[in-house]
Amino acid sequence: MSIRDTKSDGIADLRGAGAIWQVFPGRIDKPLDAQDFDEKVDAVYTWVDADDPEWAANYQRALVASGRETVDSAVNRARFESRDELRYSLRSLELNLPWINKIHLVTAGQRPTWLKEDHPNLVLVDHCEIFTDPNSVLPTFNSHAIESQLANIPNLSEHFIYVNDDVFFARYLHPNTFFGPAGQAKYFMTGSHFTQAEDPELPINQAAANNRQVVVERFGRTTSRKFQHVAHSQRLEVHRELQREMPGRIAQIAANRFRSPDDLSIPSSLAHQYAARLGLGYPASVDYSYIDIGSHSASLDFLRLARNRNVDMFCINEVLALKDGPDRSDLVRSFLAARFPLPSSFEKC
């Protein structure tokens, strides 16, 4: 038999036979444990407004000028379509990761219309600020190229989380979810192993194969499992090590205006593999859900996610738009508005 006494500071005592155990609610400050990570953590988002006429015109000019055959997913506009995901992702972050120090929003000189002009904890970062040769390689429409330059973000913290705007935080997550007690970046793997890709020419498959080859050449090890599409814990030191070891390769990726066969996917894959071999990262686990709105089962997947409250993060993605398929934009917006109804402090009144 036990008696629960709640004190004025919100900490409850469970009084049992010969012992008192203090129970700390999840969001109440508590003494740091030896296993706790408590360093400063920034968040980095990359975002594009595909509805911007100037961006669309630049995109079309670059596509015509490329003069090459590109597989659909390398230039497919579905990858850029906005359904206000960034607004709701920021709501989820502010609600469930309130300990984030600063948010760096990397854009092509764009600003969401709903975003406040000046917020102390959010900084807009233009592509021209992080690309080492902006006059030659910009504008770019290649997320791999943008991701290759994250280490150049001004005043970025050593520990940061890389977030695509299609990733959402479903419940409160402690910094320990992302970093170990000594600051190691935790990464999250799927149960799926690499096999011979059904379409090896897809850019995502080419980048995965390239990542694997780099790891084999550098460390004499191979990689066998895929990474989850969630927020990615990062160490700035790892990104800078990659820049030192392969400056020519990084420069080539930065120059690829569209996804290309020689790309690497750095923060979502290669950085994790490097961190593991350098002693700066290790595998962990989170509960997550992934919805491809181009899938025929998307409506049912949304229903399942709405009923599941045991998810840490979820991703709403569209690999390829269904030909003659339903437009699920309204479904996405209504789901996100219901899940995250309260405006964040980053939004205009």
pLDDT tens for each residue of 325-344 = 667 889 999 999 999 999 99
What SS3 state is found at 42?
A: strand
Global pTM value:
0.87
- Return the number of other C-beta atoms located less than 10 Å from residue 87's C-beta: 22
pLDDT tens for each residue of 132-149 = 999 999 999 999 999 999
Q: 41-339, what's its fold?
A: Spore Coat Polysaccharide Biosynthesis Protein SpsA; Chain A (3.90.550)
Any idea what DSSP says for residue 344? P
Which residue type, as a one-letter code, is found at position 240?
Answer: R
Any idea what DSSP says for residue 318? -
Any idea what DSSP says for residue 194? P
Which residue type, as a one-letter code, is found at position 31?
Answer: P
pLDDT tens for each residue of 86-127 = 999 999 999 999 999 999 999 999 999 999 999 999 999 999
Any idea what DSSP says for residue 343? P
Which residue type, as a one-letter code, is found at position 268?
Answer: S
Query: How big is the chain by its Cα radius of gyration, in Å?
Result: 21
Would you kindly state where each structural domain of the chain is located, as residue ranges?
41-339
How high is the pLDDT of residue 44?
A: 99
* Token couple for 256: 């690829």
pLDDT at 159 over 90: yes
What SS3 state is found at 107?
A: strand
Instruction: Using alpha carbons, list the distances in angstroms from residue 255 to 137, 143, 154, 240, 263.
Output: 5, 12, 21, 18, 10
By CB atoms closer than 10 A (0-12, 13-18, 19+), residue 206 is buried
